[in-house]
Amino acid sequence: MHKSEKIWLTLSFGMIMGFMILTGYQAFALGMGTPSGQTTLDPQKVDQTAPFDKPGVTQIGENEYEVVMTLQIFSFTPNKLEFPAGSTVHFKLTSKDVVHGFEVAGTNLNAMVMPGYVQEITQKFDKPGDYLVLCNEYCGAGHQLMSTTITVK
């Protein structure tokens, strides 16, 4: 093998190892893994599992709300949410059947909601208006009907 070939092989192998060690260190030692999908539950028993046995909106602070929501074919529970402008809303989402999406048009909110996992995502709603909430994962024959609104006033 040519000498320069050996140098490049060593260099590229070293880079791969370096990146793997760096990524592993960040993920495990620094805890920089994905922020959600780490809480699991039995998708067959969503109705019996807290907090999803009581889906709804709770005010947890001044201008701060928690929404516990289940997604199922082809609806969101609760739906037609309403918050005062300037609210920070913490969503806890799970699916009771298949993979759904939770996209709020006009915001950065866009999450995949999978059965068996709790998706947690926070959004501040500053601008008043009606925000369209859509399921953006194909989930069956009524997928295109799966929508609701968040009203901010």
Min CB(35)–ligand CUA separation in Å:
22
State which of residues 66, 68, 96, 137 lies at the interface with ligand CUA (CB under 6 A): 137
Could you say which residues in the range 36-95 bind ligand CUA, by CB under 6 A?
A: 74
Sheet holding 129-134, edge to edge: 81-83, 147-152, 129-134, 100-104, 110-113
Of the two residues 50 and 141, which places its CB atom closer to ligand CUA in the complex? 141
Decide: residue 17, CB within 10 A, 0-12 exposed, 13-18 middle, 19+ buried: exposed
Q: What whole-number distance in Å separates Cα of residue 119 and Cα of residue 74?
A: 18
Q: What is the 3-state secondary structure (H, E, C) of 28-55?
A: HHCCCCCCCCCEECCHHHHHHCCCCCCC
Beta strand 75-77 pairing with 100-104: unpaired
State which of residues 100, 102, 104, 125 lies at the interface with ligand CUA (CB under 6 A): 100
Of the two residues 65 and 100, which places its CB atom closer to ligand CUA in the complex? 100
CA nearest to 96, candidates 144, 53, 129, 63: 53
- Is residue 135 part of the contact set for ligand CUA (CB under 6 A)? yes
What residue spans of 46-97 are helical by DSSP H? none
State which of residues 66, 114, 118, 143 lies at the interface with ligand CUA (CB under 6 A): 143
- Is residue 133 part of the contact set for ligand CUA (CB under 6 A)? no
- Total binding residues for ligand CUA by CB under 6 A? 8
Of the two residues 71 and 152, which places its CB atom closer to ligand CUA in the complex? 71
Min CB(70)–ligand CUA separation in Å:
12
How many residues belong to the chain? Answer: 153
| Site residues for ligand CUA per CB under 6 A | 74, 100, 135, 137-139, 143, 146
